[in-house]
A and B are shown apart, each in its own frame.
Chain A
């Protein structure tokens, strides 16, 4: 059986970057969850004016999450080479 060796520095750096990006995605997702519940609560209270800015903000957050995923994908590919 082959002994376990620590990952090379490039891979280690890549993993750190991916972990950081994952943490950021999770934070953005929590903000989106709060935004959704707050907007729904606001709509049920009869306030419609919050719906548009909330949808725009949520779209931007989703785009940021997608951008971070793309980053994770790129780093993952890079460190596996």
Chain B
């Protein structure tokens, strides 16, 4: 029995057959996706090589008595594109965190009654004590801003990403 050549079986002249994807085409699509994943990993590798360890400047962000208990102050650190939130959780306790949710970068806000940070976008909750995730889709804790006290000034001195 005479059979059509392979290319004719693969490329049908009937438009109704065009919607069918054969196994080989599907395998090719999966392999191309797999190569795409590899390229993505290479991109992460190159990015990790090119990114230098950030140097954090010392910057005065507030006066000690400026914020009442339960009050907050917004500031930017280390650049103007990095919004942060300073909170007086108790009389002698001040904490500061990045205000960007580690899920999709929505701004978190402080809820004094529960001592938590809440992300209103997807209901992510972080502990105000150490920034760890309490609930919701975020996988990483809020980066903590390291604070120093110099006289009456509160100084931002670095960022702790919160994971060992």
State the A residues within 8 Å of B (CB).
Answer: 15, 18-19, 21-22, 25-26, 28-29, 32-33, 35-36, 39-41, 43-48, 51-52, 54-55, 58-59, 61-62, 65-66, 68-69, 72-73, 76-77, 80
With contacts A55-B45, A58-B41 known, is A29 near B161, CB below 8 A?
Answer: no
- Cβ contact within 8 Å between B47 and A41: no
Contact string, B30-49, partner A, CB cutoff 8 A, digits 1/0? 11011101101110110111
**Which residues from B are CB-within-8-Å of A45?**
140, 161, 163
State the B residues within 8 Å of A (CB).
Answer: 3, 6, 9, 23-24, 26-28, 30-31, 33-35, 37-38, 40-42, 44-45, 47-49, 51, 102, 139-140, 161, 163
Docked pose: A58 CA to B49 CA in angstroms = 18
